[in-house]
Each structure stands twice: as C-alpha cells, then as structure tokens.
A = this chain, B = another copy of it.
C-alpha cells in the first residue's frame, strides 16, 4: 500500500519473465468458432492456412487445447532487449483524481516500435525465418505494427513488405521513415500493386483506405510470391497467444506484491492488447479460481463490440481471407478517417468476441475528444505521452477511479498502456486546435454493412 512498499515501477527480474505463452482458449468452455474457407464454408484446414501463414503459426492458430507454448530461446533473447515492461503504479494520477482506488498500468511503449506489437512481431518473424522463408507481407494502420514487424524482420534478416493504410501513410511520414531505418518497404494502401487494390481504387477513387483493405493487398502479395507468407498484428488466435506475455508479466508483478486486480481495462481494436493483457486473469475466471471485471474500450466511431453483431464475416475488405466468427460491423465498413487512433478495424478477435458473448467481459465505447482529454490529463501527471489507442483505456480507467471516489471503494484498477503517442502529434494538434471530430456512425449507416454480411449457418 505505502510508497515504501510498492515501487512506482515494478520490473520483474529476467528470471521471472514468462517462459511460456498462455493459450486462453484451452480454458474456454465455449471455444471461439473456427475460421471458415470462404468458398466451401467448411473449417479451414492446416493445409489451407499454410498457403497464407507459416506452418508453426498455423499450428498455434488451430490449437485450442494446449494451455502453454514454450517461448523459443531466440525470442526470449529478443524479449530481453525491451522486456520485462514496467507495471507502473499511477501514484500521481491517483493523487490528482483524489481517488481511493489503486491504479496500475502495464506500459508497453518502451521500445522503438512504441507499442506492444513487437511481442508478436518477433515471434512471427522467428517462425518465418525458421521455415526458411525469404520474407513476409503485412498491413499496418497507425503504423505501430508495421514498425514492430520491420524491427523483427531486420533482426532475423527477413524481407518485409508493408501495406500502410493511406490516411496513416499521409499523416505519418515519420512512421514510414522508421520502417526504412529497419529496411522495410512501405506502400500506401489501396495501391495499384495488387488486383484487389486496383479494384478498390476503381470503386472508391477517393478512399483513404482501411485495415481490411490493406490486409487484402498484403495477403494477395504473400500468396502470389515465392517464399513469402502473410503475418497479421491482431485479431488472430496466434497473436493473442504471443501477447499473453503482457498479462503474464502483469499478473506476476501484482502477485509479487500481493496485489489483486478488481478491474482490468484495455483498448480494443482487433483485440491484440486486450486479449494478451487479460489472458491469465480470464483464465482464473474461467477456471472459477478468481473473479475480475474486464472492460474492453473501443472508439465510438468504430464500435464493433457495442454496436456490431456476432456473426461470421470476412476479415478483410477484399474477401480473400477466411471467414471468422466475431463481433463485426461488416467487412465493408470503413471507419471515419477523422479517428486518430489505430482502433479502426471492423471486427474483433474471435476469442474476445466469444468471451463477450458469454458475458465474461464488458465493453464500452468512448468519443475521441474525451479520449484526448484523458490523454492530456494523464500525460501531465504521469509524464508519459500516451498513444490515442491506449488513451481509450486511460479514459475508462479514470472514469472507474472517479466512481470509486464517489463510493469510497478502494478498488485495484489495472489498465494496458499499449504505447506512446510520438507519432500521433498531428492528432494532438487537432485536439489543441479544437478541430477534433467526434463522428459516430448512425444506425442507418451500420445497417447498410450489416445487411451485406455473408449468410452462414
């Protein structure tokens, strides 16, 4: 409790770092629904998936019964360059809010990619290298995933081809330059380099792109190039598996100081951070060993959990990827370019969708201006300039801490601070200039895309 007892920042020793990733699906009674082949509507086989993904990652993707996967030594060594990440006790924020709540955040921004994305990037690059591939393709939205993958590929000597959502490409030239430091090639999406890109450009000439569209392009290039596979930074089971390192470290750090979380909060775009952060806690909840409130926070401009439907849908705009059962707004939904964060994906990880559908998790959507207000409040007392994505979690953590102030409850709130906002200063500038857009899609707009969902089962 006292400042003497719990440090501002809890760093685990290297020897305390997780040796395995935890596969949350193994403890789920209702397993996430399988990916379907879009042509046959049958579950994707390992053989089919291996045209797109590395063999080892296909195994991880399909395995919903093995609880622990060993982290290979090469990946552990790389993790040690930037992990363990600190679990920070937000003493200054608590004092500012005058809340009896104890607030912790797991800060994943202390690496050059600026976010948690590196945790899965290095794993995926490792398996690609191990398989003897030449390179990988991917998409990136806000640019964090692309940067992370560039770093990982540079480390293992793999070629890296990134399709970057056009509006981010234009708003964030420096992101592209960082990827260049690590030797990646970066193409704004939609591009004329792929058939699907050309098709989308013909249909929507002025489009600023979307993650779903960039995914289609990256997959097309991967399957049509010798020695290449596609890698994805979120949504997939394998990504959540790798990201479990966040939650495992968080829990180990809390356990070390005898602290127990009451509320766990994370921002949710495709679900990579939230899925990783909550994994071991949700595991305990599923096994009936402990209870936690888990809150997913999404932007009001792209509200897949709070306003989407739970159905099979395409993961990409071009409909070249398998179908996933998830909370979705429809694969044709292209979120407002005015939203600054990277949480602009039409769907949500199948695992998180199933947990949400089973009532094991809450969801909340927040508007952009409120998010930046929380971000600035946080930056001024805790020092760290947060990414807009992470600031969604900050907003709800502050809301929950203020509720504790009203009720007098001394709850322990843990949230994921996924990254830094150094490459989001155009958005901060808009916020300072009062030019931020709080656009929320209407029910009518959402209905248009919902009606186009594929009809399955």
Contacts and interface: CB of A to CB of B under 8 A. Distances in A.
A18 to B, nearest CB: 15
A231 B354 CA distance: 56
Contacts of A420: 112
B7 A13 contact: yes
Given A177-B425, A180-B432, A80 B8 contact: yes
A81 B423 contact: no
Interface centre among A81, A420, A423 (most CB of B within 10 A): A81
Interface in A179-237: 180-183
A452 interface: no
A81 B90 CA distance: 9
A287 interface: no
Interface in A79-116: 80-82, 88, 91-92, 110-112, 114
Interface string A373-416: 00010011111110000000000000000000000000000000
A85 to B, nearest CB: 10
Given A81-B92, A384-B112, A177 B422 contact: no
Contact of A174 (B92, B177, B425): B425
A9 interface: yes
A44 to B, nearest CB: 34
A129 to B, nearest CB: 15
Contacts of A310: none
Contact of A112 (B13, B88, B178, B385): B385
Interface residues of A, number: 44
A13 B5 CA distance: 12
Given A110-B110, A425-B174, A428-B177, A383 B81 contact: yes
B81 A155 contact: no
Contact of A379 (B112, B380, B432): B112
Nearest to A182: B380
Contacts of A77: 3, 91
Oligomeric state, in copies: 2
A380 B154 contact: yes
A127 interface: no
A24 to B, nearest CB: 28
Given A9-B80, A423-B422, A383 B112 contact: yes
Contacts of A428: 177-178, 180-181
A429 B81 contact: no
A151 interface: yes
Nearest to A429: B177
15 contacts: A11-B11, A77-B91, A81-B382, A82-B383, A111-B384, A112-B385, A112-B420, A151-B383, A155-B381, A174-B425, A177-B425, A178-B422, A180-B432, A181-B380, A182-B380
Closest 6 CB pairs of A and B: A174-B425, A8-B80, A422-B422, A177-B425, A112-B385, A7-B14
Given A8-B80, A11-B11, 16 more contacts: A81-B382, A92-B155, A110-B110, A111-B383, A112-B420, A154-B380, A155-B383, A173-B425, A174-B174, A177-B429, A178-B425, A180-B429, A181-B376, A181-B379, A182-B379, A422-B423
Interface of A: 3, 7-9, 11, 13-14, 77, 80-82, 88, 91-92, 110-112, 114, 151, 154-155, 173-174, 177-178, 180-183, 376, 379-385, 420, 422-423, 425, 428-429, 432
